Amino acid sequence: MTLATRRAGTGRRITFFVALAVFAQESTWNLYESQVPPLLGAHLGSAALIGLLMGMDNLLGIFVQPWMGNRSDNTRTSWGRRIPYLVAGMPVAALLFVAIPFTAGSLPLLILAMFSYALVANSFKPIAESLLPDFISPARRSRANAVVKIASSITVIVSALISLFLVDDHPNLSFAIPAVLMVVSVAVLAAKVRDSRSPAYRAAVEEDRAGDEPAVAKVRVRDIVPDIVTDRDRSRLLLIVSIFLFGGAWAASRSLVTSYGMEALDLSRGDAGGLTLPSGVAFILAAFPVAMLAERFGRLRVMVAGMTVFAAAMVLGTVVQTATGTVVALCVASAGASAFLVNAVVVLWNLAPSDRVVGTYTGLYTVGWAGGGFLGPALVGGMVDLTGWPLMLLDVAVVALVAVLAVARVWALQRRSATDRAV
């Protein structure tokens, strides 16, 4: 067996294990997003307050994920730098998730359970994803991340099935199933993966040894962020800005579409809420092909093309303003968006100056994406206040096109660069 064959086998194996871990994590998150609001609604009459409490996990993620990603970057153990945090964190998160329905009778206890789960689950979310660049070479990261994104997308279907068949009659069991998946996945990871054997971990250890001081291993977030901001190249900063902008456009296209269907298309609440379902399938079908195209033609080029397709689809939905036209537009938009969602974090990993900081960069990706998800719907909502609901999809397209310009600038900078790491 050749070295290349062994590496390919290891890459597929690690991709499967990371996809399994992300699938288990996202199963809990999706059920959390769909079933915790009704629990809060039993105590609160304000939709705004419920939304504020449900947004708590995004706010925590902005602060916790880069810090925990950085801590894992600086960890050195016989198990590596990622697995110890997953083994410690995932079972605790599973227990806290199971506790949520049992606290539903008391609002303070429910909020405490929500906060505790969100804090712990956010702590290891970037760590599992960082295993990919630890093991997978830069040239193959897009296809590996596509598999992980597909696994994450399938959890939406799993959550819907649990809600459909279990929540009404067995609410406690419905929370227990994703928790069990999480415990099983971490057991498999603990048994099968030692990231101390990963190429990135070994490279980081070698960098530590090459330094003059033991403290060389400690790379802090407060050192990394100013380096990104002050870098004359601007590629990393512009990419994070594009993640924020496109994350906002994507979030607005999902969270405001029910209101759009009711206000602009005169649909019922149920029919409007179902407009996005086919687009989820479109995303799953497109994710791996766009990864292959990215590795063949360049990630930034494919990202620009996909984001442009997303914006064009939003324009199409504005022009053909019917339920069918909207469904088609959202399917085309999701297929285009997959080019960004699969490749953006890969480009950011590949722009990292060292394998020692990829966990921190995963956290910074989350900051951009979560920040856009938090503010994007508000921005587009403000535009809707000025332009009206019939132009909501066009408003989303405007935000997406600004993100396209940012990525196009990164592409131009990287084409001039001698390293050409991102493309």
Q: Which helix (H) or strand (E) holds 339?
A: helix 323-351
Tokens at 89, concatenated: 């964190």
Q: Any idea which of 117-131, 236-250, 396-410 has the lowest mean pLDDT?
A: 117-131
Q: How confident is the model at residue 106 (pLDDT cuts 50, 70, 90)?
A: very high
List pLDDT tens digits, range 295-342. Answer: 899 999 999 999 999 999 999 999 999 999 999 999 999 999 999 999
Residues 278 and 167 in one domain: no
* More confident of the two residues 226 and 97: 97
CA distance 334 to 230: 34
In this structure, what CATH number is given to the domain that contains residue 301?
1.20.1250.20
In the predicted model, is pLDDT for residue 237 greater than 90? yes
CA distance 94 to 287: 29
List pLDDT tens digits, range 169-202. Answer: 777 888 898 899 889 998 998 888 888 888 888 8
In the predicted model, is pLDDT for residue 215 greater than 60? no
Average pLDDT, the chain: 85
Task: Report the number of distinct structural domains present in the chain.
Answer: 2
Most confident of 18-32, 87-101, 209-223: 87-101
CA distance 362 to 129: 7
Residues 176 and 230 in one domain: no
Residue 163 lies in a domain: yes
- Average pLDDT estimate for 246-251: 91
Q: Among 213, 233, 262, where does a domain finish?
A: 213
Residue 154 lies in a domain: yes
Query: CA nearest 359: which of 127, 137, 90?
Result: 127
Query: CA nearest 258: which of 274, 278, 246, 281?
Result: 274
The residue type found at 64 is V
Residues 108 and 12 in one domain: yes
Residues 182 and 234 in one domain: no
CB 245 within 8 A of CB 404: no
List pLDDT tens digits, range 110-129. Answer: 999 999 999 999 888 888 88
pLDDT for position 169: 72
* More confident of the two residues 52 and 348: 348
CB 37 within 8 A of CB 55: no
Residues 143 and 7 in one domain: yes
In the predicted model, is pLDDT for residue 241 greater than 60? yes
Residues 35 and 75 in one domain: yes
Over pLDDT 90: what percentage of the chain?
A: 34
Residue 422 lies in a domain: no
Give the residue numbers spanning the domain of 313: 219-416
Residue 369 lies in a domain: yes
pTM of the model: 0.82
In the predicted model, is pLDDT for residue 3 greater than 50? no
Tally of residues, the chain: 423
Over pLDDT 70: what percentage of the chain?
A: 91
- Average pLDDT estimate for 79-102: 92
CB atoms within 10 A of CB 408: 18
Token look-up 């856009």 returns 372
pLDDT for position 174: 84
Residues 407 and 277 in one domain: yes
CA distance 318 to 329: 9
In the predicted model, is pLDDT for residue 53 greater than 60? yes
Tokens at 123, concatenated: 């702590």
Residues 286 and 344 in one domain: yes
CA distances to 235, 404, 415 from 420, in Å: 11, 19, 6
pLDDT for position 397: 96
Residues 239 and 265 in one domain: yes
Residues 202 and 225 in one domain: no
CA distance 315 to 324: 15
* More confident of the two residues 344 and 219: 344
pLDDT for position 56: 78
Query: CA nearest 354: which of 203, 242, 231?
Result: 203
Q: How confident is the model at residue 103 (pLDDT cuts 50, 70, 90)?
A: very high
Residue 147 lies in a domain: yes
**Residue 31 backbone class (left: φ over 0; alpha: ψ -120 to 50; beta: rest):** alpha
pLDDT for position 380: 87
Tokens at 280, concatenated: 């989820």
CB atoms within 10 A of CB 168: 9
Q: Among 213, 248, 270, where does a domain finish?
A: 213
Q: Among 179, 213, 247, where does a domain finish?
A: 213
- Average pLDDT estimate for 371-397: 88
Q: DSSP secondary structure string, 148-215?
A: HHHHHHHHHHHHHHHHHHTTTT-HHHHHHHHHHHHHHHHHHHHHH--GGGSHHHHHHHHHHHHSSSGG
pLDDT for position 304: 96
CB 70 within 8 A of CB 219: yes
Helix (H, G, I), strand (E, B) or coil at 212: coil
Residues 164 and 77 in one domain: yes
Of the chain, the end-to-end C-alpha distance in Å amounts to 30
pLDDT for position 137: 84
CA distance 384 to 201: 48
Residue 421 lies in a domain: no
CB 56 within 8 A of CB 187: no
Residues 240 and 203 in one domain: no
Residue 317 lies in a domain: yes
Residue 423 lies in a domain: no
pLDDT for position 6: 55
CA distance 80 to 192: 13
